[in-house]
A = this chain, B = another copy of it.
Amino acid sequence: MGSLDSNMAESVQFKPLDAQEFRKQAHQMVDFIADYYQNIESYPVLTQVEPGFLRSALPDSAPHRPESFETILKDVQEKIIPGITHWLSPNFFAFFPATVSTAGFLGEMLCACFNSVGFNWLASPASTELEIVVMDWLATMLKLPKTFMFSGTGGGVIQNTTSDSILVTLIAARDRALDAVGAENMHKLVVYGSDQTHSTFAKVCKLAGVSPANIRALPTSVDANFSLSPQLLRRAVEADVEAGLVPLFLCATVGTTSTTAVDNVEPLAEVANEYGIWVHVDAAYAGSACICPEFRHYLNGIERVDSFSFSPHKWLLSYLDCCCLWVKQPGLLVKALSTDPEYLKNKPSESNSVVDFKDWQVGTGRRFKSLRLWMVLRSYGVLNLQSHIRSDIRLAKMFEGFVKSDPRFEIVVPRHFALVCFRLNPYPHSGSADTEMLNRKLLDWVNSTGRVYLTHTIVGGLYMLRFAVGASLTDERHVVAAWELIMEGADRLFKGSAF
């Protein structure tokens, strides 16, 4: 490795950020990425590699000496790309899409460019202020009440994920409750969701010290479209109060992960408000749709809740990570999460004239993420973003029509947004296990072709396939081709062809 001195000599020459080299290599990378986007349909959507494929293809330790950009890019093409599940493929219909856009990418480039760390206002004023502006813009697009906006009495902040959003609001609610009932009553706090609430809710509640026995996953049913019943909530809360417990927090979901079921915010909040329960609305996926007037009704009652989050990285073309959280009482977040070390003290913070976002989140450091949203909102305008939502929903409706037109298939739950939950119908006189087995076989086969990627869920005991439209590159022809492939799978299945 050479002596210290010879390394020192080398160090004088090592320039990690030479503007000329940056320019040259970044241009090459742009072309590499543009080519990837152009050729993305040529890759199998769901990679078919085996566990360990990459570990065995790469050396055990980092190189001592530099390797060329060309060598590394070759490895990206030959070793990395074959092992990627292509989330941006127009034939990706799994989970929910992680949508992207040119403007989002440019915003991400700028965010990295400045690499400013906006833990407080002074550390990078533009970062904090643009976030304030963008969060108010989005709140306006969603017709959130002024009580959630900086221009009103609340405010919003960009978190990494829904988990973070739920965690920080839960902590704020928890600390407010413990102030009232005493910290020794921590074990009495109860939280509420449905059996359709995202699995991260229970995880985050446990993180925050809520007793696992006090996490209520209230049952839903296919008859009520898997929506949480306000009557059931009321009964659960009453029973808990009677048992001497302290109802703390309700997580209502607009657009659940399995089937995009919608909890009816207004009547749920009505119950919660009576008992002083903090209500959070998680609209991670479906929130984006609510920028269209015709879907805004899914947020009816939002003025009665305490916090609301949705993730533009899911459906608003914004790349990961980007979860937008609004709260009515930012002071409660700050009270629960603020720190004040000497080395971060500064006059603007002490004057209380500015927002220090480190006190609205778990970590201290934070990226200049608002740039990405700002670029998306300005580059496309509200009209194009609405069109984008409507176009995905139109394609989902089309797919729904295909399913309905084929008697071998059925729609399992009503479609609200751009997710279609469907399955092969039960054979006459067959059991549900057979139906599930057939549908599993169908899913395995279509995914094994590499031509599409779909996932499944089981809700209310029913195994179903999920067809989530919305990848940024998806067009009508991809949806048509996916349906044809699914029909081919059904044909093979029913004709008993080898899979």
Contact = CB atoms under 8 A, between A and B. Distances in A.
A141 B87 contact: no
A390 B5 CA distance: 10
User: Could you say how many copies of this chain the assembly holds?
Assistant: 2
Interface string A459-478: 10000001000001100000
Nearest to A212: B183
Interface stretch (A126-134, A247-255, A264-272, A481-489): A126-134
Interface string A354-388: 10000000111111000100010111111110111
A54 B46 CA distance: 44
A101 B66 CA distance: 14
A224 interface: no
Given A29-B110, A133-B54, A200-B339, A365 B186 contact: no
A202 B354 CA distance: 24
Contacts of A62: 137-138, 140-141, 377-378, 381-382
A23 B18 contact: no
A117 interface: yes
Contacts of A27: 27, 30
Nearest to A382: B64
A49 B353 CA distance: 13
B381 A67 contact: yes
Interface stretch (A32-40, A275-283, A325-333, A409-417): A32-40
A176 B81 CA distance: 39
A45 B496 CA distance: 71
Given A211-B183, A343-B258, A365-B320, A34 B19 contact: yes
Given A31-B23, A112-B108, A381-B62, A18 B388 contact: no
